[in-house]
Amino acid sequence: MAKKPKPQLRADLLKNRSSRGRKNDFTRDMEVDADRVMDMRGSERVRGRNEMSRKRTVRGASVDGDRIVLDIDTTTALFGRVLSSVGSTQCTVQVEDGRRFMCSVRRIVRTMARETRNAVAAGDRVWITATDEKTGVIERVEPRQGVLSRGHQNRQHVLVANVTQMLIVGSAAQPNLKPALIDRFLVSAGKGEVHPIVCINKIDLVDPLELQPLLGWYSQIGCDVVMTSVTTGYGVDRLRMLLQNEQTVFAGQSGVGKSSLLNAVQPGLSLSTGIVSEVTQKGKHTTRYTQLLALNGGGWVVDTPGIRQLELWDVRPEEIEGYFVEFRPFVALCRYPDCRHYREDDCAIRRAVQMDLIPRVRYESYLRMMLGDDA
């Protein structure tokens, strides 16, 4: 008895190629200028069916829950981790035996990344096929955990995957501290299910006592807090301890000293650093792309380019209150179950702010996110 053919898997995929619009006004143009008929024939193209379809047949794949899994031969493929990714053709992958390969990404892998700006991100665990001793092709990306991502042109931009904690770096001065940006990173950490650490660098430029109320509140809501100075070495030992045996992504705006901190934690990294403009109080991008770096004491750190604005991804306005831990005891006390805590009457959150039970700076951060201000 003949074997039944394996059912073909149909999946919603992005189009691989751009389509050319057909001309629909041939008759009208011919009535105006019949001599142009030959030119029009030469410019017309027949559009293939697959360019119109939003579904494709994926061979060599299976379904695991709600995701499509590409079938590969794991006996010949190599398992590794993406150390850096620039576009789809410059991915550095370190395999389990320590070898590194410069890899491109298989076309079907890029096509199946329907909602993301990048099919492969730093930190991804992948299977590759080696084409020679130094190059290869990424065949499959394993499911991600612990993700830092942001919105970019209505698509998800994954900055790094498979991290356990996020070090949110701000500077006490030069550039000035931006609590609103720190709060956005805290929401992103909650969304990505990674533990947040708030680090205030350049503490030697201000009186640390001025920051105690804000940092004390971050500590109360469950964040680890550390103050550092690369110039004096203050706090570097504690930071090194927090990073040991963890997978940590450094996040923050340009100029706050992320690369300088990494150089202080492990001097052999020799990462490039920059200066901050005295006029704009903004730093210049010295880190061009996200990269994973191994620590001598165990664990990995991820250096990312500076982010001046962070557009939250896949967080609806009504969900934002859930990422503000200090709001939770008061939400049920609001008069309206769908209260936005903005201008509604009898709002328990607004009363808590007036009574200094919730810091006003945190409440203002919530409003900016809820109202769609991407600052």
pLDDT in tens, 207-238: 999 999 999 999 999 999 999 999 999 999 99
The parent domain of residue 117 ranges over: 68-143
Statement: residue 40 has pLDDT above 80: no
Per the structure block, which two tokens stand in for 61? Answer: 């794949």
**Residues 237, 242: Cα–Cα separation, whole Å:** 9
93 and 232 in a common domain: no
Nearest to 261 by CA among 178, 173, 175, 168: 168
The CATH number linked to 324 is 1.10.40.50
Longest dimension (CA), the chain: 83
Of 120, 143, 166, which marks where a domain is finished?
143
Asked if residue 310 belongs to a domain, the reply is no
Confidence label for 85 from pLDDT (cuts 50, 70 and 90): confident
Q: Which strand (E) or helix (H) includes residue 258?
A: helix 258-265
The pLDDT-based confidence of 267 (bands split at 50, 70, 90) is confident
Shared domain for 255 and 323, answered yes or no, is: no
Q: What is the mean pLDDT of residues 233-246?
A: 95
- 206 found inside a domain: yes
Count of domains observed in the chain: 3
The per-residue pLDDT for 118 is 81
- Alpha-carbon distance 22 to 46, whole Å? 8
Residue 288 and residue 160 share a domain = yes
What pLDDT, on a 0 to 100 scale, did the predictor assign at position 369?
93
Tell me, yes or no, whether 253 and 278 share the same domain: yes
Pairing of strands 224-227, 195-201: parallel
Pairing of strands 247-251, 165-171: parallel
Q: In the structure, what pLDDT confidence band is assigned to residue 372 with cuts at 50, 70 and 90?
A: confident
Question: What number of other Cβ atoms are within 10 A of residue 248's Cβ?
Answer: 23
215 and 160 both lie in a single domain: yes
**Is residue 289 located within the same domain as residue 166?**
yes
Helix axes 360-370, 179-192, angle to 10 degrees: 60
Higher pLDDT, 306 or 234: 234
The per-residue pLDDT for 333 is 95
Do 224 and 279 share a domain, yes or no?
yes
DSSP class of 39: H
Q: Is residue 40 part of a domain?
A: no
> How sure is the predictor about 160, in pLDDT bands with cuts at 50, 70 and 90?
very high
- 119-137 residues labelled b (16+ CB within 10 A) or e (exposed): bbbbbbbbbbbbeeeeebb
pLDDT band for 304, please (50, 70, 90 cuts).
Answer: confident
9, part of any domain:
no
Confidence of residue 268 (pLDDT cuts 50, 70, 90): confident
Q: Who contacts 302 (Cβ-Cβ below 8 Å, separation ≥6)?
A: 122, 123, 160, 163, 247, 248, 249, 250, 290, 291, 292, 293
Q: Say yes or no: 160 and 299 in one domain.
A: yes
Task: Indicate whether 353 and 234 sit together in one domain.
Answer: no
What CATH code is carried by the domain that includes residue 186? Answer: 3.40.50.300
Instruction: Let me know whether 107 and 215 are in one domain.
Output: no
Q: What single DSSP character describes residue 167? A: E
Query: What integer pLDDT is reported at residue 192 of this predicted model?
Result: 93
Is the residue at 8 inside a domain? no
* CA 302/CA 294 separation, integer angstroms: 9
Mean pLDDT estimate for the chain: 81
The CATH number of residue 104's host domain is 2.40.50.140
- Asked whether residue 48 is domain-assigned, the answer is no
In a domain, 176, yes or no: yes
Of the residues 93, 120, 143, the one at which a domain ends: 143
- The domain boundary, picked from 97, 112, 143, lies at 143
Mean pLDDT, residues 311-338 taken together: 93
- Burial label for 237, CB within 10 Å (0-12, 13-18, 19+), is exposed
Q: Is residue 239 part of a domain?
A: yes
Q: Looking at the structure, do residues 293 and 338 belong to the same domain, yes or no?
A: no
> Do 172 and 127 share a structural domain?
no
- Which of helix, strand or coil describes residue 140? strand
